[in-house]
Amino acid sequence: MDGDRIMIWFTSDFHFGHEKDFLWKPRGFSSWEEHAEQVITRYNEVVDDEDTVYILGDCMLKNDDFGIYCLRQLKGHKYLAIGNHDSDARIERYKQENIFEDIQYGYRIRNGKCDIYAQHYPAMMGNYKDKHPVICLAGHTHSPDRFQNMANGCYNIALDAHGCYPVQLGTALTDIFIYRAAHPVPAYPDRSPYCSSCHNQYGCEARTRYDIICPGYDPMNGGTF
């Protein structure tokens, strides 16, 4: 809580109990135990009991008892958007333990400046370039780049991209609008995320104003390489 103002936070991909070093090493820790302890400490450093927190999936892996032990320590009114590691059995456990106020696949949050879809998986949003954009907040990719999918109107909210801290709504929107001002989005349909030839997302180095065209592809003569 900031003064009398209740804060809204977003975060994702705690992976409590996940012992593999590809998860906790890139986040700057020396063990999965230290990772869990620091994620909890940093979260509770910024979130207050009255705050609302949207946790966008992948709460725990491997050791569910340990995961629940960790989740029970987190402050705030918590809402879960289901991730690929939040299995039916784990969702049942979250319910039994009363961890979350609500559990959904995603949440639509209306804001004065934009509409927000908060979910586990990054999505391609339709009118990112408009004055009243629809923005997706998501995790799942574990990229340290918070703007990884910003060309599609999707902002990476996961711990990996934010020093293992949750992100306050206003902070995320400010970050997004500053980025948008510096990176104007081409008009539809020039911004297809997939190259029609190599099928990689933004895989082509030599993108012309038509993102969908591979280097060397000649639309006048047709055909693909």
Q: Shortest Cβ distance from residue 141 to Fe ion (Å)?
A: 8
CA distances from 216 to 60, 193, 213, 223 (A): 46, 18, 8, 11
Q: Shortest Cβ distance from residue 6 to Fe ion (Å)?
A: 27
**17/83 with CB nearer Fe ion:** 83
User: Helices in the chain by DSSP H: which ranges?
Assistant: 21-24, 32-46, 64-71, 88-97, 169-182
Burial of 159 (0-12, 13-18, 19+ CB in 10 A): buried
Q: Shortest Cβ distance from residue 127 to Fe ion (Å)?
A: 26
CA distance 76 to 74: 7
**93/140 with CB nearer Fe ion:** 140
Interacting residues of 171 by C-beta distance below 8 A, sequence separation 6+: none
Q: Shortest Cβ distance from residue 212 to Fe ion (Å)?
A: 28
Q: Which residue is at the shortest CB distance from Fe ion? A: 58
**67/133 with CB nearer Fe ion:** 67
Q: Shortest Cβ distance from residue 161 to Fe ion (Å)?
A: 12
Interacting residues of 72 by C-beta distance below 8 A, sequence separation 6+: 97, 99
**73/84 with CB nearer Fe ion:** 84
Q: Write out the two tokens for 58.
A: 């992948």
Q: Shortest Cβ distance from residue 134 to Fe ion (Å)?
A: 22
Q: Which residues of the chain form contacts with Fe ion (CB under 5 A)?
A: 13, 58, 83-84, 140
Q: Catalogue the E-assigned strands of 90-143.
A: 102-104, 106-110, 115-119, 134-138
